[in-house]
Amino acid sequence: MRSLARKRRRSVAGQVFVLQVAVVVLLAAGAVLALVLQSRYDSDREARTRSVAVAETFAHSLGLREALRAPDPSRILQPLTEETRRSAGVDFIVVMDTRGIRYTHPQPDRIGKRFVGTIEPSLAGQVHTESVRGPLGREIQAIVPVTSGGRVVALVSAGLTVENVTGLVDRQLPVILGVSAAGLAMATIGTALVTRRLRRQTHGLGTLEMTRMYEHHDAVLHAVREGVLITDGEGRLLLANDEARRLLDLPADAEGRHIRELSGLDQRMAALLMSGRVATDEVLAAGDRLLVVNQRPTKPHGQAEGAAVTIRDSTEMRILTSRADAARRRLKLLYDAGVGIGTTLDVVRTAEELADVAVPRFADFVTVDLADPVLHGDEPTGTVTGADIRRTAVSGIRDDHPLYPSGKLIDFVPSTPQARGLGSGQAELVPDLADAPGWFAQDPPRAQRIVEYGIHSLITAPLKGRGFVLGVVNFWRSQKQEPFDDDDLSLAEELVARAAVSIDNARRYTREHAVAVTLQRSLMPRGLPEESAVEVAHYYLPAQSGVGGDWFDVIPLSGSRVALVVGDVVGHGLHAAATMGRLRTAVHNFSSLDLPPDELLARLDDLVQRIDHSEDENGDTDNGMLGATCLYAIYDPVSQHCVMARAGHPPPLVVSPDGTVEVVQLPTGPPLGLGGMPFEAAELHLSEGSQLVLYTDGLIEDRTRDIDKGLELLRTALSHPDRPPQESCRAVLDVLLPTRPRDDVALLIARTRTLGADRVAEWDVPFEPSAVSAMRAVVVEKLDEWDLSALAFGTELILSELITNAIRYGSAPVRIRLLRDRTLTCEVSDGSSTSPHLRYAATTDEGGRGLFLVAQLSQRWGTRYTPAGKVIWAEQPLPGSPGASEPELLDFFDIEAL
């Protein structure tokens, strides 16, 4: 033992010595490092200070500004800077202009070249210092502005080259190393002296003291209320205290015997002792005791590994542990319910999540029955009865159960616990279903099958949300023989109470979603008009999270033209749908004025700003329209020109007849409501059969891809010009439409058509009143050629009035254009921007009835402004088309005078 103690003390002394050496070395290294860093810092600071002082002195020297104004500043300044540099002890002084071109430099070949460094701060009037690698090496330089009259006219830079750290380190390094060596020597001597002293003290230990030490050790070992075992590496039991013998029922001669020879030892305990592995608070059963075992390996006397084992009797903790485990499982169930129930805002899915989370950890089968109105988002009216309860979710450990299936409408009789729970709002426990006549009365044959199946216990808990009973949840037990108890009833009530909030939220969302969908459907176009100019296919899909504000429209315009509109309102819900309806109505109203796209968007932007401003004044800051985008395009089938403008909306795509798909380079305008920036329109020529594709960002944006990838997929899906728009629309949706879209998706594809020359007629009208009758004759002849003689009389009257007004009140040139489409359109254009107005003439007035006559004879009429003037147009239905009728002439019209 003494030799062992001596060896151990030597080891400790050696460790102390190593620690002392490490401390000395670290202190020495730290001193050297601090010295180097301080030397570098002092050198850098001194260089910067000297550079700034020299540069400022030279910058404020007399005659510098006069020298800068000389024809050759370098000739004057170069000698001065060199003399000053040598006197000031710096490596360079450079004078430069405000562009950084040097006037002076220690190396004359550098004069006239650009200065190496940052001059912007000095040009702003600041003194700037920096470290750069210049022509002389690594330099620390200061740049000082030279001002004249309050502005910077030149710059002066002075600096030093940093070749190495000052010699302070070289001078003090031997001192540091010498002190470190002295410290090591002292540590060695001290360690030797301490070792000798420890040896002397241990040699003085007598037999009595050693005996007393062992007696104390033995008394403590056997007095503790914890079993202690020590084994060697071969599995022999070296030591066992009294508590260990009692807990493990060890024989009196157990010490010294092999573990396998102890027949009374529990097999799992023997296996653990033989393994020698680390064990921490491992619980083992030994007979009727529950033991907590800790085991750590040891190496006594440097021999093979043994183990030191401690054992505690925790039998009294078994009941508490089981209760704690049950409480922990219940808390875990409630936590999982809080996380797993209500992941969606769907009533049925939330009910299914409630059933799934309780099986099999709490019940073997769970059924959720909800009131029928709840499934549609409505509140239950009055007290829920069994007559309107529908089974919504069923979950269990097996699928062949005899319980009612999902979707069945159940009429609970008053004697059942479900009916009582729906009426009282209180949960009920049925410990034995075989002895529950009230429950049997619901459906005796099925109840008998349920009992024979093995389901023996039931908890029914009503779902209550915001004062209403929404339904009832049934927990059934079959595998465990014990019935549900009061603790299970409390857990069921807590679980159902948490789920009821999620189901009620889903119900409220369902109601709001249904209202928003109804509102949006009433505001969206129910059927697009058939147009000769384009063949249209469209698609709209609301977001999974709720109805949004995307919309599209096809609006017929005068002259067989058509307007294509796509818009997007940021957000979802009722407000987004209502805002969409307001914007769509405004676009319809503005389009009736025949405005160009950029002007229409400008007026729409002003309208949104006025609405937002008025709502802000009323304190309603949550219902503004900010965040809306729009794309408006007008296509003319006669000229095949398409004019479009956008307000923050994604650009459209054009599919040419040859299959080329291009993104229209359309100027980007701000979203509606921002104001302050004009909108720009772009015009392009579309060949017949081209497809114009308008969409919202929900089509190309998705969390799994970026916008560029979405646009590329859209281009690929559209690269089939031979497909009709409806098939192209379907192909695009197959490629791009996500399974659960986060945003609304609107898509509008229009294939262009043309109005051929055989359906268009144009004439120039001489600017004189006598030309009216001649033009009437030409037009009548054209109508006869088109088999529209039935419209000749009314057309003569319309053209007579329009041409007369153009000649009397307008300006040259005057032109007539007839378009034979779904209607007959008569257009008279002139060079004036003055628009006529319809008025009702008195019986004594000689004039003022012309436009009234035009309005009576035409289906629609109006004015369209052009860059060259205006166009007044009137449409008449073709014979045989809906709305066509013979014109009725009033007695007070003098036709011959016309």
- What confidence tens digit (pLDDT) does each residue in 663-698 have? 999 998 899 888 778 899 999 999 999 999 999 988
Place of tokens 């860093």: 37
Give the pLDDT band (50/70/90) at residue 461: very high
Looking only at the bridges linking them, the beta strands covering 691-695 and 745-752 are: antiparallel
Cα–Cα nearest to 553, from 515, 591, 579: 591
How would you class 497 by CB atoms within 10 Å of its CB: exposed for 0-12, middle for 13-18, buried for 19 or more?
middle
How would you class 793 by CB atoms within 10 Å of its CB: exposed for 0-12, middle for 13-18, buried for 19 or more?
middle
pLDDT value of residue 622: 52
Does residue 813 carry a pLDDT above 80? yes
Give the pLDDT band (50/70/90) at residue 455: very high
Cα–Cα nearest to 106, from 92, 96, 95: 92
- Distance CA(25)–CA(528), nearest Å, equals 89
- Distance CA(259)–CA(271), nearest Å, equals 9
Q: What percent of the chain has pLDDT over 70?
A: 84
- Distance CA(578)–CA(523), nearest Å, equals 8
Q: Is the dihedral of CA 173, 178, 183, 188 positive or negative?
A: positive
Which amino acid does the sequence have at 311? I
Q: What percent of the chain has pLDDT over 90?
A: 21
The 10s digit of each residue's pLDDT in 338-383 is: 888 888 888 889 999 999 998 988 899 999 999 888 888 887 765 5
Q: Among 256-265, 294-303, 577-586, whose mean pLDDT is lowest?
A: 294-303
pLDDT value of residue 565: 95
- Distance CA(550)–CA(548), nearest Å, equals 6
Give the pLDDT band (50/70/90) at residue 8: very low
Number of helical H runs and strand E runs in the chain: 23, 31
Which amino acid does the sequence have at 114? R
Q: Which residue has the higher pLDDT, 849 or 612?
A: 612
pLDDT value of residue 3: 39
pLDDT value of residue 652: 94
Q: Which residue has the higher pLDDT, 538 or 770?
A: 538
Q: What is the mean pLDDT of residues 51-57?
A: 84
Q: Give Cβ neighbours of residue 877 (< 8 Å, ≥ 6 apart).
A: 823, 824, 859, 883, 884, 885
Report the chain's mean pLDDT, rounded to a whole number.
Answer: 81
Residue 85 dihedral angles phi and psi, to the nearest 5° = -60, -45
Looking only at the bridges linking them, the beta strands covering 661-663 and 668-669 are: unpaired
pLDDT value of residue 381: 66
Top mean-pLDDT range of 504-508, 827-831, 852-856: 827-831
Q: Are 95 and 102 in contact (CB under 8 A)?
A: yes
pLDDT value of residue 747: 92
Strand, coil or helix: what is 841? coil
Does residue 883 carry a pLDDT above 70? no
- Distance CA(885)–CA(315), nearest Å, equals 104
Q: What is the mean pLDDT of residues 54-81?
A: 84
Considering the entire predicted model, what is its pTM? 0.54
**SS3 for 585-649, per residue?**
HHHHHHHCCCCCHHHHHHHHHHHHHHHHHHHHHCCCCCCCCCCEEEEEEEEECCCCEEEEEEECC
Q: What is the mean pLDDT of residues 232-239?
A: 83
The helix (H) or strand (E) run that includes residue 140 is strand 137-148
Q: Are 683 and 654 in contact (CB under 8 A)?
A: no
What is the 8-class DSSP label of residue 295?
Answer: E
Question: Starting from the edge strand earliest in sequence, which strands make up the sheet with 137-148, in order?
Answer: 92-96, 151-161, 137-148, 128-134
Inter-axis angle of helices 486-523 and 347-358, to 10 degrees?
A: 160
pLDDT value of residue 319: 62
pLDDT value of residue 845: 44
Q: Among 75-89, 132-146, 640-654, 832-846, whose mean pLDDT is lowest?
A: 832-846
Does residue 39 carry a pLDDT above 90? no
Does residue 888 carry a pLDDT above 70? no
CB neighbours of residue 331 within 10 Å: 11
Structural tokens at position 878: 């073709």
Does residue 830 carry a pLDDT above 80? yes
Inter-axis angle of helices 597-617 and 574-591, to 10 degrees?
A: 140
The 10s digit of each residue's pLDDT in 772-797 is: 888 888 999 999 999 998 888 888 88
pLDDT value of residue 165: 37
- Distance CA(387)–CA(688), nearest Å, equals 63
Cα–Cα nearest to 579, from 645, 509, 521, 520: 520
Longest dimension (CA), the chain: 154
The helix (H) or strand (E) run that includes residue 328 is helix 317-340
Question: Starting from the edge strand earliest in sequence, which strands make up the sheet with 389-396, in order?
Answer: 409-410, 389-396, 365-371, 468-477, 457-465, 428-430
pLDDT value of residue 387: 57
Q: Give Cβ neighbours of residue 175 (< 8 Å, ≥ 6 apart).
A: none
Give the pLDDT band (50/70/90) at residue 224: confident
Does residue 657 carry a pLDDT above 60? yes
pLDDT value of residue 28: 73
Give the pLDDT band (50/70/90) at residue 312: confident
Q: Residue 436 — left, alpha, or beta (φ > 0 → left; ψ -120 to 50 → alpha)?
A: beta
The 10s digit of each residue's pLDDT in 384-441 is: 555 578 999 999 998 899 999 998 888 888 899 999 888 888 999 999 999 989 999 9
- Measure Cα distances from 62 to 58, 65, 80, 92 in Å: 9, 8, 12, 20
**SS3 for 156-169, per residue?**
EEEEEECCCCCCHH
Inter-axis angle of helices 317-340 and 486-523, to 10 degrees?
A: 10
Structural tokens at position 785: 């050629």
